[in-house]
Structures are given as structure tokens and as C-alpha cells.
């Protein structure tokens, strides 16, 4: 079993949109101050370090943080043929970036419907884009995983979508299960984690209430202890528990929200 390590995802700040005026150094400082061991940052939030991976590595080292994962999205939703070449170019760029951080996983966002068309056909095209991207990442020595979501127009929402996409991908392509998105889709979280456990690389841990609205970690319906026990038995789980927060509280004070979440997960580990 891999040693448990706790990281923080930067989407908590990203969701503020124009309300966020800081930069990547501010994110690093807030996450390190909160007590986390690692960070998952996105292409949107990497800012001035986008073409300076060595400088970002030095900044993380100064803060005592490890890059657990680098996540990126696509204007074509990873499901449009006309955007495929741009998706591959992005994968090459971010694979080369992530290659400077041993053990970091490259995370591709959820396939999303950007135009009309049959859902199954779009998922099949997304599978092709994911598969080709995995080859690009593998050539750079970087493991790649996909991150399904429950957001608007996602193509990877319920169990049927998961069954289809994973049936089309080779076993080397990993999965980042997100507890909040799985629950918002009405899935049986334990069954989903077990069915695709051999693909789990790391986990996004967040919470929702019974109505599917985002909740602070430990204040919703997610059985955190059971999720962690299941994930940590996965054969290729690398030990990273990445806490992500999208609740209203986080929109008011992201730094305070992620500090609370760190205290919650730390107390769970000790209990």
C-alpha cells in the first residue's frame, strides 16, 4: 500500500474567475501554509511558470511541496475532431512540463459535449483523443489519467458513461476518481471505485450534500473513511489524496476553506 500523502487542488481559486487576482506563488504559499504536502495545479492557474518548469520546481521545493499532478482541459472538450490536433499539442506541452516532476500525473479533464451529435459517438472520439494523448505522455515518461466530472454537458457523468469510456481505453490509461462528481451523478460510489479500481492513480476528495450541492469536506454525504479504505487498496494508487473544494464557503475565503479541509482529513487519518 502506497503511503498516504495529502495535496490540494487549485480549482478552489480558479472557480472565482475574475474575482481571483493572485498568481501561482500565492497558491503555493496558501497551500503550503495550510499544511499540505503537495499541489495539483491546472493549465489555467500555472501562470508565469507555464514555460518555466524548473523555476516552478524550485518554488515548490522552497515551499516544501511536491507536484502531485498537473491538470488541463480543452476548448474542444476532448470530443471534437477539429480540436484534436490542438489537444495533442497541449498534451505534448504539458507532458514536457510534468516530466520535470518525478511521479507527477498528467490529468486530462472530462470529455464534454461542445456540439450536437450522438453521445456514444462523442465518447468514442474522446476515447481516441485520450488514447493518442496517453501515447504522447508515455513518450515523455509521464503517466496520464482522465478526470470525469458532473459539470454541464459532461460526457462522463454516470456509470454507463464510465463503462463505455473505460471499455474503449487500454489499461495503461489511469483514472482520477472524484468523490463529489461521482455522488452528484447518483452513482454507487463504492461500486464505481471497485469496478475501475485497477485504473485509479490518485483521488480527488470532496463532498456534496444530499441534494447534490457542494459541501465542505466531512459535512456532506461522502463516507470519507470508506472511500479512502477502498482507494488505498487499488493496485496502482500512488498515495496522493488530492483535496478539492467547490462549496460556497470556498468562494468566500479559499485559503480558509482549504485549511479547514486539511484539518478534517488530518483528523480522519489520526482517528
**C-alpha span between 206 and 9 (Å, rounded):** 11
Residue 2: predicted pLDDT = 82
Q: What is the DSSP string of the chain?
A: -PPPEEEEETHHHHTTGGG----HHHHHHHHHHHT-SEEEEETTT-GGGTT-HHHHHHHHHHHT-EEEEEEE--TTTT--GGGHHHHHHHHHHHHHHHTTSTTPEEEE---B--SSS-HHHHHHHHHHHHHHHHHHHHHTT--EEE----STTBS--SHHHHHHHHHHS-TTSEE--BHHHHHHTT--HHHHHHHTGGGBS-EEE-EE-TTS-EE-TTSSS--HHHHHHHHTTSTT--SEEEE---SHHHHH-HHHHHHHHHHHHHHHHH-
Question: How many other C-beta atoms are found inside a 10 Å radius of the C-beta of residue 148?
Answer: 25
Residue 270: predicted pLDDT = 62
φ/ψ of 168, rounded to 5, equals -95, -10
Nearby residues of 193 by Cβ (< 8 Å), 6 or more positions away: 177, 182, 200, 227, 230, 231, 234
Residue 268: predicted pLDDT = 82
**C-alpha span between 31 and 139 (Å, rounded):** 31
Digitized pLDDT (tens) for each residue of the chain, 271 residues in all: 688 999 999 999 999 999 999 999 999 999 999 999 999 999 999 999 999 999 999 999 999 999 999 999 999 999 999 999 999 999 999 999 999 999 999 999 999 999 999 999 999 999 999 999 999 999 999 999 999 999 999 999 999 999 999 999 988 999 999 999 999 999 999 999 999 999 999 999 999 999 999 999 999 999 999 999 999 999 999 999 999 999 999 999 999 999 999 999 998 866 5
**C-alpha span between 142 and 72 (Å, rounded):** 14
In order of their start, the domains of the chain are 5-270 (3.20.20.150)
Amino acid at each position: 500500500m502506497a503511503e498516504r500523502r495529502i495535496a490540494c487542488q487549485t480549482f478552489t481559486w480558479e472557480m472565482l474567475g475574475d474575482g481571483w487576482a493572485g498568481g501561482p506563488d500565492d497558491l503555493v504559499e496558501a497551500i503550503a501554509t495550510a499544511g499540505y504536502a503537495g499541489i495539483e495545479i491546472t493549465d489555467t492557474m500555472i501562470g508565469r511558470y507555464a514555460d518555466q518548469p524548473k523555476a516552478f520546481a524550485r518554488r515548490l521545493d522552497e515551499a516544501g511541496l511536491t507536484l502531485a499532478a498537473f491538470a488541463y482541459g480543452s476548448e474542444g472538450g476532448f470530443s471534437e475532431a477539429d480540436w484534436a490536433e490542438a489537444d495533442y499539442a497541449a498534451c505534448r506541452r504539458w507532458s514536457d512540463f510534468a516530466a520535470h516532476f518525478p511521479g507527477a500525473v498528467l490529468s486530462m479533464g472530462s470529455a464534454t459535449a461542445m456540439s450536437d451529435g450522438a453521445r456514444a459517438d462523442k465518447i468514442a472520439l474522446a476515447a481516441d483523443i485520450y488514447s493518442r494523448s496517453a501515447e504522447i505522455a508515455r513518450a515523455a515518461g509521464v503517466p496520464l489519467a482522465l478526470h470525469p466530472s458532473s459539470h454541464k454537458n459532461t460526457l462522463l457523468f454516470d456509470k454507463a458513461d464510465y463503462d463505455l469510456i473505460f471499455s474503449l481505453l487500454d489499461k495503461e490509461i489511469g483514472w482520477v476518481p472524484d468523490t463529489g462528481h461521482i455522488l452528484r451523478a447518483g452513482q454507487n460510489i463504492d461500486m464505481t471505485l471497485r469496478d475501475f479500481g485497477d485504473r485509479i492513480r490518485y483521488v480527488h476528495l470532496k463532498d456534496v450534500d444530499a441534494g447534490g450541492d457542494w459541501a465542505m469536506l466531512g459535512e456532506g454525504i461522502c463516507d470519507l473513511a470508506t472511500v479512502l479504505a477502498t482507494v488505498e487498496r487499488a493496485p496502482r494508487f500512488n498515495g496522493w489524496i488530492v483535496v478539492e473544494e467547490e462549496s460556497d464557503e470556498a468562494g468566500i475565503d479559499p485559503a480558509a476553506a482549504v485549511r479547514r479541509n486539511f484539518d478534517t482529513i488530518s483528523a480522519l487519518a489520526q482517528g
